[in-house]
Amino acid sequence: MSALLEVDRLTKRFGGLCAISGCGFSVREGDAHGIIGPNGAGKTTLFNLVTGIYRPTEGTIRFRGKHIAGMRPGKIALMGIGRTFQNIRLCTNLTVLDNVRIAFDSRLCYSLPEAVFRLPRLEREERRSIVGSMGLLEPFGLAEHANELAGDLPYGSQRRLEIARALALKPSLLLLDEPAAGLNTGETAALTEFLRWVRNHFQVTIVLIEHHMHLVMNLCDRITVLDFGQTIAEGTPAEVRANPRVIDAYLGGTGEE
């Protein structure tokens, strides 16, 4: 298996604060890759760097071997990196269906004149997008809510809608920022199964930030541990669990000095 995403000596400074300092890891194609670490370790900043919301101060990010650091976020998304947000960012005034359609639009091909004059290709493509988007809502249990406003959905459904929307891009890499935040134990177990299904069904590599250790240890093939913006451990769940530096970072000063 080759590396889909390679992050090397990545650094991001906000003024005097160093959110990420020399972080490096690689994600293999087809894996579910967990990123864990204490609060403030720089996990979300890392996602924002990969998706182009922030520009790195130093270092490289390669996706399928191409340098993407500093590219515009829209372009990175179109290359096949979908993501969700820690604090859900849906188009709350639009319907559930339209939320997915916005992401699906990147796959439609018709030109501006065709849209303005409503030529046949527009209708054909728009039908394709409605059918395709409904097809995505189906497995997420959202099809019957397609015409409701996204903002009116309960919290858990909003989280699922965000994943469905990211998948509408047909990404090869899916970044999930705390997908289990706010879910109870039962729901988290269901989410684990669901994410496994998503990975197999959509043939997508998943990178997820998560605090629910149960989910991370069950789902992920490999785990990267961040602390103070640096990679302090990387490996299989078993390796990471046994690593003294990880225990040190999480529990604080219990490792051998």
Partner 1 sequence: MKEFLHAAARCRWALPALVVLGFAFCLACEFFPIFNDYSKVVLITIGINIILCASLNLVNGYMGEFSVGHAGFMSLGAYASAVMAVNWLPSTPMELPLAVVFGGTVAAVIGLPLALISFNTRGDYLAIITLAFLMIVKSAFENIAYVGGPRGMTPPVLTNMPWTFFWVVLTLWVIRNLVYSRFGRAIIAIREDEIAANAMGVRTREAKILAFVVSSFFGGVAGALYAQLNFFIDPRSFDIVKSTEILVMVYLGGIASLFGSVLGAVIFTVLMQVLQPIGTWRMVILPLILVLLMLFRPRGIMGLRELTWFLPRRELKKEPGQ
Under the rule (CB under 8 A), what is the footprint of partner 1?
51-53, 72-74, 77-78, 82-83, 85, 89-94, 98, 101-103, 105-106, 108, 110, 112, 115-118, 122-123, 126-127, 129-130, 147, 165-166, 168-169
**Which residue, among 226, 227, 208, has the nearest Cα to 34 in the 3D structure?**
208
Nearest residue (CB) to partner 1, 46 versus 223: 46
Q: How many other CB atoms are there within 10 angstroms of residue 100's CB atom?
A: 29
**Is residue 234 a contact partner of residue 205, using CB atoms and an 8 Å limit?**
no
DSSP state of 24: E
Instruction: Provide the minimum distance between the beta carbon of 73 and partner 1 in the complex, in angstroms, as a whole number.
Output: 4
Instruction: Provide the minimum distance between the beta carbon of 121 and partner 1 in the complex, in angstroms, as a whole number.
Output: 11
14: tokens are 């906000």
Nearest residue (CB) to partner 1, 51 versus 192: 51
Nearest residue (CB) to partner 1, 165 versus 222: 165
SS3 assignment, position 81: strand
Instruction: Provide the minimum distance between the beta carbon of 113 and partner 1 in the complex, in angstroms, as a whole number.
Output: 10
CA distances for 133 relative to 13, 18, 107, 166, 175, angstroms: 39, 40, 11, 11, 20
Cα–Cα dist 85/177, whole Å: 5
Instruction: Provide the minimum distance between the beta carbon of 103 and partner 1 in the complex, in angstroms, as a whole number.
Output: 4
Instruction: Provide the minimum distance between the beta carbon of 30 and partner 1 in the complex, in angstroms, as a whole number.
Output: 22
Nearest residue (CB) to partner 1, 151 versus 182: 151
227: tokens are 């602390």
